[in-house]
Structures are given as structure tokens and as C-alpha cells.
Amino acid sequence: MAGEKGYTYRALDLKEIQNQLHTRFFANDDRLIFVPIIDSTNIRAMQLARMGAGEGTVVLTDSQTAGKGRLGRRWVDVSGCNVLSSTVLRPSFPPYLLVMLASLAVVDAISETCDVVATIKWPNDVLVGNRKVAGILIETSHDHNGQLIAIMGIGVNVNGYPLQKSADEIETSQDEYLPGTQATTLETESGYTVSREALIASLLQHIESSYLALQQEAQETVATAQGSISRLVREQWRNQLSTLGRPIQVRQGNMLLSGVAEDVNDDGELLLRDHSGNRVTISWGDIGYPTT
């Protein structure tokens, strides 16, 4: 199929993903579900989880008609160009660690697959330079046994170039208050077409290995997230945060705060030094990098 700007896109090659996948059980056999066009992989993964789908069940698609961002926002894609994946998890550890785990997995998978250096914008956007290449949406619920379900949704802009559709979406969102939040793709950054299959295989391996290590730690110790694996995940995530040390703007609904991003605490909250010298703890919101 010829896409915009004349690129030829092809459907995701599931055999190729399975050939490249070396997970213990994530996305193996019937844990890999591909739907060519779907409203949202997160919606489908949550439905499957509520019906009892096991952890490591992965929903993939070539195109979403109602891709979800955080706080009711949209995630837009160009058919056949991107990674759009949702993984069913049943964590015994605090869900904020999933945000860290997911963004680290995206950074590592990008580096392994196409040698592009990405960083994390607090809390979980993945950027190349100042442009967003991937977004993460963790949604939680409980199944009928009261067990926590978490869906880890990841969207990565892989091939093609950031398109008008994406730019329109960005313009109509509130991001005009937050400078430095344009989109990019891995093809734009690397200069060549990137294998979505290789990226997905790498991503799932990183997710599985950190997830299983955290699960084991949580089962062996009281689930306080104070074990050495949790500490390592937190430390690696902190080291990848391009937000720290920079002047930032934080939007929380209609409220806009500004100051310098000094650090993060153990729960992943951002510690902002505002212009009056006060330290403010930020647990949610969107970050912008002022250009002046």
C-alpha cells in the first residue's frame, strides 16, 4: 500500500516477530494477538485481561482508529508505519515502576534496533532531542478476583515522517502552552527504514526481563519496592531523564507552574524548584521546555 509521500507500507510480519523474539513467554503462541485495524490496543488488551488473559499477552495492530493518550488525549498514527502495542500485566509491585520500566524498555529497544539515542521526558515520554518519538499509557483495573491488572500501551513512531495528521492533533491539543513537544519518527532520526518487527521483539524482551525480575522481587520480599531490582530500575530511569537540571513548565489542567526540574523522588515524583525558591513535588502533569 502506498502511503503519504509515496512510501510503501506493509503489514506487520508476525512470523518475523516470532523469529526474532527470545522471550520466555511474552507474546509466545496464543499470547500474540494481531488485529490489522482496531480502535485501541489498550481497550482490547483490557477486555482480554478482564476475561482472564494471562500476563504477557500482547495486542498489536497496524492502525488505531481511537488511539488513546493520557488524560483523554488522542494518539495518532499512520497506518503500517508504527509500533502500537499493549501488554497485559498483573504486577505485584507498585504500578509507578511500570512507567519507568516501559520508558527504559523503549529507550533500550530504540538504541538496539537503530542506534538512535533517545531520552525520557518526565514522566514517560520518549524523545529524540526535543521531539517525541514514543508515548506510554499504563491503565490499571482489577479482575473479578480483585487482582490488579495493568495494560502497558506503547506507541512508537517508526517509519515515514511526522505527518500533518499528527501535527494537527498536536495543535488542537493544549500543547501550545508547552513548547518543544513536536513529533519525530525513527526513520527521520536514523535516515533509514527501521524494522518494526525487530523493534517489537527487542521491546518485549526488555519489558519481560525487567517485569519478571520485579515480580520475583515483589514475591520474595514485602511489596514495598525497596529491593535492589526496584532501586536499579529507579536509578536507570532517573539517569535517562533529560528533564533534570532544566528550566521547565509544568501544566496540570489549567494550572501552569515553572521552575527548574531538580530531581525525582523514590516514587518517581518530580521535584521542582520554583522561581520563589520553593521545592514543589509534582506527581502528574505535562512538561514543556521553554525555548527562551
Name the strand (E) or helix (H) holding 155.
strand 148-156
Site for ligand BT5 in 15-74 (CB under 6 A): 40-42, 64, 67-71, 73-74
Q: What is the DSSP letter of 54?
A: P
To ligand BT5, the closest distance from the beta carbon of 246 in angstroms equals 18
86 lies in the binding site for ligand BT5 (CB under 6 A)? yes
- 75 lies in the binding site for ligand BT5 (CB under 6 A): yes
Q: Shortest Cβ distance from residue 135 to ligand BT5 (Å)?
A: 2
Contact between 287 and ligand BT5 (CB under 6 A)? no
Q: Under the criterion CB under 6 A, does residue 130 sit at the interface with ligand BT5? A: no
Chosen residue from 84, 138, 201, 214 binding ligand BT5 by CB under 6 A: 84
Tell whether residue 175 is a contact of ligand BT5 (CB under 6 A).
yes
Whole-number Å distance between alpha carbons of 289 and 131: 11
* Whether residue 123 has a cis bond before it, omega within 30° of 0: yes
- Which of 63, 87, 103, 157 binds ligand BT5 (CB under 6 A)? It is 157
Closest to ligand BT5 by CB, 177 or 224: 177
Please identify which residue in 57, 103, 113, 166 interacts with ligand BT5, judged by CB under 6 A. Answer: 166
Contact 93, 225 (CB under 8 A): yes
The yes or no reply on residue 153 touching ligand BT5 (CB under 6 A) is: yes
64: left (phi over 0), alpha (psi -120 to 50) or beta: beta
**Main-chain dihedrals φ then ψ at residue 277, nearest 5 degrees:** 90, 0
**In angstroms, what is the minimal distance from the CB of 56 to ligand BT5?**
16
**Contact residue for ligand BT5 among 137, 199, 241, 261 (CB under 6 A):** 137
Judged by beta carbon, residue 152 or residue 225, the one nearer ligand BT5 is 152
Q: Is 132 in the site for ligand BT5 (CB under 6 A)?
A: yes
Return the residue of 169, 189, 208, 217 that touches ligand BT5, per CB under 6 A.
169
**Nearest approach, Cβ of 228 to ligand BT5 (angstroms)?**
30
3-state secondary structure (DSSP) of residue 74: strand
Question: CA 250, CA 273: separation in Å to the nearest integer?
Answer: 12
| Alpha-carbon distance values, 276 to 62, 260, 282, 283 (Å) | 48, 11, 16, 20
**SS3 of 238, please?**
helix
CB burial of 212-237 (b: ≥16 within 10 Å; e: otherwise) equals: bbbbebbeeeebebebebbeebbebb
List 281's β-bridge partners, or say none. Answer: 271
249 binds ligand BT5 (CB under 6 A): no
Contact positions vs ligand BT5 (CB under 6 A):
40-42, 64, 67-71, 73-77, 84-86, 125, 132, 135-137, 153-155, 157, 166, 169-170, 173, 175, 183
